[in-house]
Amino acid sequence: MPYSFENAIADKLAEKHKQGLLRSLCQPSGIDFSSNDYLGLANHFEIAKAAADAYIKYGAGSKGSRLLGGNHKIFEETEKWLANWKGTEAALIFNNGYSANVGVISSLCDSKTHLFCDRLDHASMLDGYAIGDGKLHRFKHNNPADLEKALKEVEPDSFKLIAVEAVYSMEGDIAPLKDYADLAEKYGAMLYVDEAHSDGILGPEGKGLVAQLGLESKVHLSLTTFGKAYGTMGACVFGSKLLIDYFISSARSFIYSTAISPGMVVAMQKAVEVSMRDGFRRDSVLKMSADFRQKIKEAGMDCLQSETQIVPIVLGTVEKAQKCKDFLLEKGFYVPCIRPPTVPNGTARLRINISASHKTSEIQALAEALIFYIQSL
C-alpha cells in the first residue's frame, strides 16, 4: 500500500485506543465535579459585567502582541495593581498559564542551566524545558531530600532553577515550599512556584501558599493563573523588575503571540477583588473539602496526601477508574477520570474538584455514591 499520512495518523490513534488513552470531548452533565472554578466565580455577575463593559469600551481584540501594538494601557495598570497585590516589584500578564510556564522556563533554560522539577510538575513546565536547553533533573514528588541530592551533584557556580507547583493539580497535596526555599538559598538557585491551584484558596485573602508561609522574600518568581479559582482566564508572572524585563525580551510565548483582550485583563483584576472581599467562598470550599476527604478516607479510599479542594481517588487501572466514573455519571455526578500519561502508570484516578458553588448536600450525595460503589466491588 502506498504511504498515506491519513493511514499513519489513523494507526497512531488506533494505538492510543488500544492503550485506553483515547481522549474525547464531552459536555459535563449532572453535578459537575470536574471544574477548576474553585470559588464559584466563573458566573459571577460583577466579574462578567466588568468584563462586558470593558469589551464594549475597548473592543474584543488586543490587535497584536504586546510588543507590536497590543500594549493597551489596561495591561500596565493591571500589572502594577497585581504586583502591588502580591507584593512583588513587577508582574507580567501572559495569555494563560500554559504559555506563561513555557515562556518562563524556556527563556531561563540555556545550555548552562540546570532545571530541577518535581516529577509531577505540570506538562507546561516540561514543554518549556523541551523548547529550551540545559539539563533536566526530576526529583521525587514533594521530596526535598531528593532535590538536595540532585542539587549537590551540579557545579556550584552553574545556573540552577527549581520549578515546583504549590498545590499539585492531580494530587491536591501541598509542596514543602519552606524546605525548597531553604535549599534554593543554600545552593544559590532560583525558585519558581506555580500557584495555579493554590491562589485564591490558600493564604491571607487567597494570596497563595507563598504568602501563607511568609516566603515572599525567598521565592524569586511565581505564577498565578486566572482560569482556575478566579473563574476567568489568563495568567500573571510575579518577580523582580530585572526578571520581568528579561521575560519581555526573551519569553517566546509572550513575544510571538497576540495579547489577551483588554476586557479579559479587567476581568482578572475584578475576580481577584471579588475573591478577596468574599472570604466566605474560600472558607466554604476548604471546609467542604475537608469534610468530604474525611468521609471517603474513613471508608478506606486512597486520596493520596490531598489537603485541598482537589481530591483524587486512586483506583489503579484505567479500566477501574473508567468504570467508577461511569457509575457516578449514571447517578448524576460528573467526575473526570485521569489516566496516564497525565498521571503515573498504575495510578489512574478520579479527580474530584470541590467548589464553593457546590451545595453541602451535593457533596454528601457524591460521598455516599462513591462509598456504595467501592463497598460493592
Q: Which is nearer to ligand PLP, 312 or 367 (CB)?
A: 312
Residue 70 or residue 234: which is nearer to ligand PLP going by CB?
Answer: 234
Q: Give the amino acid at 155.
A: E
Q: Per CB under 6 A, which region of 97-105, 199-207, 296-304, 327-335 contacts ligand PLP? A: 97-105
Of the candidate spans 57-65, 93-101, 141-149, 321-329, the one that interacts with ligand PLP by CB under 6 A turns out to be 93-101
Beta bridge partner(s), residue 222: 193, 238
Query: What is the number of other CB atoms lying within 10 angstroms of the CB of residue 70?
Result: 18
Q: Is residue 200 a contact point for ligand PLP (CB under 6 A)?
A: no
Amino acid, single-letter form, for residue 175: A
User: Looking at beta carbons only, is 198 or 367 nearer to ligand PLP?
Assistant: 198
Tell me if 172 sits within 8 A of 311, measured CB to CB.
yes
Max CA separation in the chain (angstroms) = 65
Q: How far is the CB of 217 from ligand PLP (least distance, A)?
A: 23
Q: Cell digits for 273?
A: 477583588
In angstroms, the CA 234 to CA 96 distance is: 4
Cβ closest to ligand PLP, residue 284 vs residue 353: 353
**Site for ligand PLP (CB under 6 A): which residue of 113, 225, 275, 308?**
225
Candidate list 72, 122, 220, 293; residue touching ligand PLP; CB under 6 A: 122
The residue within the footprint of ligand PLP, chosen from 196, 260, 285, 335 (CB under 6 A), is 196
The sheet carrying 337-338 orders its strands as: 310-316, 348-353, 337-338
169 near ligand PLP, judged by CB under 6 A: yes
Asked if 90 and 240 count as a contact pair (C-beta separation under 8 A), the reply is yes
78 contacts ligand PLP (rule: CB under 6 A): no
User: 20: closest CA among 370, 324, 344, 321?
Assistant: 321
Which residue, among 101, 116, 121, has the nearest Cα to 236 in the 3D structure?
A: 101
Candidate segments 21-29, 92-100, 106-114, 179-187, binder of ligand PLP by CB under 6 A = 92-100
Q: Name the one residue in this structure whose C-alpha cell is 523541551.
A: 130
Q: Shortest distance, CB of residue 345 to ligand PLP, whole angstroms? A: 20
State how far the Cα of 370 lies from the Cα of 126, in Å rounded to an integer. 34
In the three-class reduction of DSSP (H, G, I as helix; E, B as strand; rest coil), residue 293 is classed as: helix
Q: What's the rounded Cα separation, in Å, for the pair 137 and 115?
A: 6
One residue of 40, 70, 97, 132 binding ligand PLP per CB under 6 A: 97
Under the binding rule (CB under 6 A), the answer on residue 339 touching ligand PLP is no
* In the complex, least distance from residue 138 CB atom to ligand PLP, rounded to whole angstroms: 15
Residue 124 engages ligand PLP in binding (rule: CB under 6 A): yes
Tell me the closest approach of the beta carbon of residue 218 to ligand PLP, in angstroms: 20
Least Cβ distance, residue 45 to ligand PLP (angstroms): 23
What sign for the dihedral angle of Cα 112, 118, 123, 124?
A: negative
Q: Looking at beta carbons only, is 170 or 363 nearer to ligand PLP? A: 170
What 3-state class would DSSP assign to 342?
coil
Report the interface residues with ligand PLP, using CB under 6 A. 96-98, 101, 122, 124, 165, 169, 194, 196, 225, 227, 235
